[in-house]
Amino acid sequence: MGDPAGIGPEITALAWSALRNQDDPFFLIGDIDLASKHAAAKDLPAPIAISSPAQAAQIMKKALPVLPMTLGAKVIAGKPDPLNAPAVISAIELAVELVLAGQAGALVTNPIAKSVLYAAGFTHPGHTEFLGELAKAASAWTPPRGPIMMLSGGGLRVALATVHIPLSKVPTALSAANITRAAQVIHRALQTDFGIQRPRIALCGLNPHAGEDGAMGDEEQGFINPAAKSLRAQGVDITDAQPADALFREDARSDYDAVLALYHDQGLIAVKTLDFHGGINATLGLPFIRVSPDHGTGFAIAGKGSARPDSLIAAIKAASAMSASRQAHVDA
């Protein structure tokens, strides 16, 4: 459900309205009274409570199926309450239990507010890291392990070697080991979750002009390109470091299936420029499929009826497709 004071409840109602007739049903883990309020505001049918995920298929075309969860405090749109933080955390934990048990094919997460969750003992930098911790209980979680964040939109797939750290710490946080792990995770995910038999990965350089043979930095020569060479020897089709300022242009995109960017803004600026409203965030290298909208809680517009569901709709569609691809890969 994400943070109930954000735009999650509104865009969930709108996503159900848009996808109610799709082949793969989905259900919400959240507060049914809050879901009913947002459905009524959009002149949609009242959500229906379910007691197990299996009931979602029977309900989906009539109303949003909801696996109810009780909140700790009344929700005021735009004003997150730490009293609701335990329920937000519990919803994530329950969702992971259900996908690991095979009762759901994929997990789609609405945005959370980490600062609010810290009051309830949340110690992780974000959703992605928390899901990685919860995944450790899965016996089927085989190497190479994530989580690796990949943003998609506008025809681009961009994964990140480092995520939410200050730019000043990126050079020391990078290593041949974490570039190698990220590329291995991306390679396998493109095969299993996206059905690309021979994936091609483009690797961004860290420095301007990818270091220009050491004239603008030596990280490319010191460990980035050696890591890429080692990966190619393992059968991973990945380039040496490429200048990021030219890598995302339209005529270059046909040469790769995904980009491995080395820091947050290096990759995400391109995706968000091409598709700001419809971009999605997929977590690669988990023992289950997880996708989320590529935006935050939207507290500033919560309750105003202006939130756009594009990204959540895209996330649900992507989760369905990725789940089917992974199942087909297993069956093969």
Write out pLDDT tens, residues 12-44.
999 999 999 988 899 999 999 999 999 999 999
pLDDT band of 125, cuts 50, 70, 90: confident
> Six-digit token pair at 96?
């992971």
Is 51 a domain residue?
A: yes
pLDDT band of 142, cuts 50, 70, 90: confident
Average pLDDT over residues 37-65: 97
Among the three residues 84, 104, 138, which one is the final residue of a domain in this structure? 138
DSSP β-bridge partners for residue 241: 203
Phi-psi region of 60 (alpha: psi -120 to 50; beta: other; left: phi over 0): alpha
Q: Provide the pLDDT for residue 195.
A: 96
Cβ pair 98, 104 in contact under 8 A: yes
Give yes or no: residues 82 and 61 share one domain. Answer: yes
Q: What share of the chain is helix, strand, coil (3-state, %, to 5)?
A: 45, 15, 40
Is 298 a domain residue?
A: no
Is 304 a domain residue?
A: no
- CATH code where residue 75 lies: 3.40.718.10
Give yes or no: residues 218 and 246 share one domain. Answer: yes
Give yes or no: residues 186 and 243 share one domain. Answer: yes
Is 319 a domain residue?
A: no
Indicate the number of domains in the chain: 2
258 versus 165: the higher-pLDDT residue is: 258
Among the three residues 88, 123, 138, which one is the final residue of a domain in this structure? 138
Among the three residues 117, 138, 159, which one is the final residue of a domain in this structure? 138
Q: Is the pLDDT of residue 100 over 80?
A: yes
Q: Provide the pLDDT for residue 306.
A: 95
What is residue 262's DSSP assignment?
S
Average pLDDT over residues 55-78: 96
Is 301 a domain residue?
A: no
Q: Is the dihedral of CA 319, 204, 229, 132 positive or negative?
A: negative
pLDDT band of 139, cuts 50, 70, 90: confident
Q: Provide the pLDDT for residue 219.
A: 95
DSSP H or E segment with residue 127:
helix 127-135
Average pLDDT over residues 303-316: 96
Strands (DSSP E) along the chain, which ranges?
28-30, 48-49, 65-68, 107-108, 148-153, 156-160, 200-204, 237-242, 258-261, 280-284, 290-293
pLDDT band of 140, cuts 50, 70, 90: confident
HEC readout, 190-250: HHHCCCCCCCEEEEECCCHHHHCCCCCCCHHHHHHHHHHHHHHHCCCEEEEEECHHHHCCH
Range of the domain at 234: 142-285
The structure's pTM equals: 0.94
Within a 10 A sphere around the Cβ of 25, how many other Cβ atoms?
18
